Amino acid sequence: MDIAIIGAGMAGLTCGQRLSSSGHSVRLFDKGRGPGGRMSARHTQVAGDTLHFDHGAQYFTARDERFVRRTQEWEADGIIARWPEAGNDVWVGTPAMNAPVKAMAAEADVTFGLRIESIRKVGTGWKLLGEGAPAEIFDAVISAVPAEQVAPLLGSQAPEIASLADATVSDPCWTLMLAFDERPDLPETIRNAGPIGWAARNTSKPGRGDTECWVVQGSAEWSREHLEDDAAAVEALLLDQLRNQANGTLPPVRHASAHRWRYAMCGDAGEGAIWSAHTGLGACGDWLHGPRVENAFLSGWKLAQMMIDND
């Protein structure tokens, strides 16, 4: 089949990789500027120094044997490493969290920077709609986007998938990226400290450089309460919360910026993946399996297997 996958994150790329290996023609489309999604990383130049921030997913674990095998391959290729400061079974991409997704995208046919708005039935196939969308007709279309983006994409073409996605709500997250002149008097990681859901010394991760960089993420409840605040206000509020964790004193701040994730921590629809051979439409993503990087991988794997078994 000629297959279009909308969304080139962990789930979409995993699904596409397996389908391509089985002989299908697969193209992926993503509205982002590059690979990463919620595994994105940010690099900022300040006074000649490159500051490194993993401002989305902070790490991942591997428990299912299929994902364990994948992590072993990534480790052998030097694109992930253990982060013992956060736990015994904790992995991070190197030199940034998006390294595994970036490596997968390099082996796939991915078009970034292209927003697919919706799809339309044409004969026995599907046409993608959106400025710059390809003219070709696809035999199948797979949604690999966050739950909140599924209904606008699939709309009336797959009401059962759209309804399930609408009922699976994600938590938001404000993320503050900080650089200090020197190391603060703080532990390497902070979890569930009032408004702070997570804070970490990004510099302690392998390959992140020597500049003292930190990532502070608001809790889901706090982020929802302040979701529509402007970035400057959020920066000040989360910096104060981190200062409280340091007994009221932090080193001078070299850099501060905030990023709002409207759909940070997904829900779990409990389906794993969805495929309809009759319509040629399917869906994968962490929202169908659970809010972990591993679950996004497993969802993409499961959908590909469902399609392969139906060949």
For the stretch 5-60, pLDDT in tens is: 999 999 999 999 999 999 999 999 999 988 878 898 898 988 888 899 999 999 99
Q: How far is CA 21 from CA 24, 115, 282, 304, in A?
A: 7, 26, 18, 10
* pTM reported for the whole predicted model: 0.94
Structure tokens at 266: 């997904």
Cα 258 from Cα 224, distance rounded (Å): 15
- E strands in 32-170: 42-46, 49-53, 80-82, 91-93, 110-112, 118-122, 125-129, 140-143
Rg (the chain; Cα; Å): 20
Q: Summarize pLDDT for 163-206 with one digit per residue, the tens.
A: 999 999 899 999 999 999 999 999 999 999 999 999 999 999 99
pLDDT at 48: 84
Share of the chain above pLDDT 90, in %: 90
Amino acid at 48: G
Structure tokens at 202: 């990004």
- Is-cis flag, bond preceding 206, omega within 30? no
Q: CA angle, 67 as apex, 274 and 201 as ends, to 5°?
A: 110
